[in-house]
Chains A and B, each alone.
Chain A
């Protein structure tokens, strides 16, 4: 199955060509037009958070988007969680900043990893993601495609507990079940229980284990070679920092004369936005300020296309067996291109070309004759 190549996002680079002003056509304003249209249309983004209960997922989401999405949340007792099943809960908020509207959907997965027997506890999550893909697939193949709602999950933040020595079996199984369906960004939760040395050791360990188990987490796109050095440096730092060790906070404390989001301890104050305390700022910049669109692109171009190709293949193989079955979606019979048919096609193409040329010649001749 061939999956499509990644789509590189280009940040518009200003060109200073005063010498070419005479031949200025004007399509350099395209980026501005795109900007205007997109601001008018608004953006949407679906973020999924997954991890055991008590890892600080809700706090982090609140800190990221500076809102309070989780008012009046009911938390279950330990005895109720012994046989808990995973639920999927969606919260949707519309937020606006400098005229840009964002429809943010947070998909929560309470109950993941909380029961005593967690066999296949990621199944409801994979089913949900597949459902969204399926719904989009149907909408896209429908007749009226004006208002398609894109509910596909663009990114999944997975919270790894910092109390262990690395990834646990349930972490590995979850990521392996989802890495071909959604962009996974692993995070080390509650990083304020690790000293800087321990953080480094844990990050190295987790990176090693991700490689060892063949888990495909979200990779930041490579920098273009014509970007400036500062950007490249930042990008390099970002890549070396994964998985991000994050701390979240809902409360504002007074530190160094400023009011900041932080956690107050008897031995000091942890500032969420202090880069030497944790990687929260890096995560926020990456997620919201620079790579949000890339995440959406990868979801559309890679994960969704994989799903679609798989779906179509299944359907055609079923149709071949049972001709009476009606498919809800108009599909063409899928022909796997093999060498022979390709050769045939090429030959026919050439023939067509030749015929066209002959036709043109004849037309010219006729034209000349008329004249």
Chain B
């Protein structure tokens, strides 16, 4: 047993050995089971369907209990998701059940955005699980897993085919969650119509590439029943929590004037099949598929978005830690650069505004000067005019004085020659008025 031989052993393939007697490790599954039972199970159902289509009633019927659910109104502006968590127990197995209802789905006149809240909710659950996984101090075994394990899509039985909104929504959801389509309120569809409807629905789903959940057929124990159930999709269900007397038993049924539809009668509807498949046979497989397929797909997309790669350019595997550190440094550098840029921009902007303000100031100043000059010029002209006016006034005054003196002389001449002609008389008569005028003037 030299070191080299040990190496050789390590490189060889594993060998099959026969046991000599009973060792006892065949109890491993039982140990696992008892551990899981002690831990409790977790199951999350998403019910997507129109208001009033029977989602709450079907849940009540499936789990044989009454979950509190108030009637939704038709007048919601957008689709909302309402999750509710319950703790159920059946013969020492604990189940933490979360039921998520879509409120207001299919009620809006414009349904183009209807699928978005549902998609966001599913992604949010994946995101919180991813966060928990990536934490440094994490406790995955304690973590309440809220990822949706199954989406029950309720199809309204309008008799012909899927509605356009159904097709669009299922197409958006098929890569995120396991979808099982069910035909709701199936007591309005007669048998022949139901067969036609089922075929039509499945063919439409297939031709549009919608991937619904197929019950697994690898495990021999359940392969047969699963493959036969696969042919009965979509299940036509009727829900009821009222007990009606049929024969001499009390069964869950809906009582009509023409008969009673028994929920658990396989001839009447596929409720029993749904319950078998969903709860009794494939629950664990649904959880596994959610984790192994849908969640992994989400995780891969998310991490690739963030820039992580599994293998570097020279085909050597990175460790997450290194990649994370490198990313962080890059991010910080980027941050600093952006800060610098912003600061620079800010400074530039300030300078620009300052320059503008200065320019405006100069302009204002110029205008002020201009106005001042104009004002002064006007003042000058006014002054000149005033002087002219004064001169005129002086001239007039002088003329007036001259006229007065002339008149005074004329008067003296008049008193010395009393015998004058008419002309003089006129002058004489006109004189007093002139005198009175002047006297009046003088008074003034």
Contacts and interface: CB of A to CB of B under 8 A. Distances in A.
A79 interface: yes
B61 to A, nearest CB: 15
Interface string A110-121: 000011111101
Interface in A244-282: 263-271, 274, 276-277
A81 B163 contact: yes
Interface stretch (A1-9, A47-55, A218-226): A47-55
Interface in A20-49: none
Nearest to B259: A268
A192 B190 CA distance: 10
6 contacts: A52-B158, A117-B110, A121-B109, A265-B191, A267-B261, A267-B268
B194 to A, nearest CB: 10
A266 B72 CA distance: 32
Interface in A157-205: 161-170, 173, 190, 192-193, 195-196
A18 interface: no
B159 interface: yes
Given A52-B158, A75-B160, A79-B167, A264 B190 contact: yes
A63 interface: no
Contacts of B161: 54, 75, 77-78
Contacts of B165: 116
B164 A165 contact: no
B191 to A, nearest CB: 7
Contacts of A264: 190-191
A216 B278 CA distance: 47
Contacts of A267: 187, 256, 258-262, 268
B158 A117 contact: no
A165 B188 contact: no
Candidate in B53, B54, B207, B258 with the most chain A CB atoms within 10 angstroms:
B258
Interface string B135-179: 000000000000000000000111111111111100000000000
A77 B161 CA distance: 7
Interface in B238-274: 254-262, 267-268
A192 B159 CA distance: 13
Contacts of A117: 109-112
A84 interface: yes
Contact of A78 (B54, B108, B109, B204): B204
A78 B257 CA distance: 34
A255 B108 CA distance: 42
Contacts of A276: 257
A271 B164 contact: no
B256 A269 contact: no
Contact of A53 (B52, B160, B168, B254): B160
Contact of A118 (B52, B110, B208, B259): B110
A124 interface: no
Nearest to B169: A116
B111 A169 contact: no
A269 B258 contact: yes
Given A75-B161, A169-B107, A190-B188, A116 B74 contact: no
A7 to B, nearest CB: 36
Contacts of A95: none
A55 B158 contact: yes
A82 interface: yes
B280 to A, nearest CB: 24
Pairs A-B, 4 closest by C-beta atoms: A268-B259, A54-B158, A193-B188, A268-B258
Interface in B86-117: 107-112
Interface residues of A, number: 47
B74 A165 contact: yes
A116 B111 CA distance: 5
B294 interface: no
Interface string A52-92: 11111000000000000000000101110110100000000
Interface in A92-144: 114-119, 121
Contact of B53 (A52, A163, A190): A163
Given A116-B112, A168-B107, A193-B187, A79 B72 contact: no
Nearest to B51: A164
A192 B158 contact: no
Interface string B207-221: 110000000000000
Contacts, number: 131
B71 interface: yes
Contacts of B156: 161, 163
Contacts of A56: 159
Contacts of B419: none
Interface in B35-74: 50-54, 71-74
Contacts of B267: 266
B75 interface: yes
B259 A81 contact: no
A116 B164 CA distance: 6
* Most central of B54, B261, B262 by chain A CB within 10 Å: B261
Contacts of A164: 50-53, 74
A79 B169 CA distance: 12
B185 interface: yes
Nearest to B71: A165
A163 B159 contact: no
Contacts of B167: 78-79, 82
A84 B165 CA distance: 12
A79 B204 contact: yes
A265 B72 contact: no
A214 to B, nearest CB: 15
A119 B261 contact: no
A169 B164 contact: no
Given A166-B74, A169-B109, A266-B267, 12 more contacts: A54-B161, A55-B158, A78-B162, A78-B164, A84-B164, A117-B112, A162-B188, A168-B51, A267-B256, A267-B258, A268-B260, A274-B257
A14 to B, nearest CB: 39
B396 to A, nearest CB: 69
A78 B166 contact: yes
A276 B268 CA distance: 22
B69 to A, nearest CB: 13
Contacts of B256: 192, 195-196, 267-268, 270
A82 B164 contact: yes
A249 B160 CA distance: 15
Nearest to B246: A267
Given A77-B204, A82-B168, A265-B190, A170 B109 contact: yes
A196 B166 contact: no
A277 B258 contact: yes
Contacts of B52: 163-165
B190 A118 contact: no
A116 B168 contact: yes
Given A161-B156, A165-B71, A271-B258, A114 B164 contact: yes
A196 B168 contact: no
Contacts of B164: 78-79, 81-82, 84, 114-116
A173 B73 CA distance: 16
Contacts of A274: 257
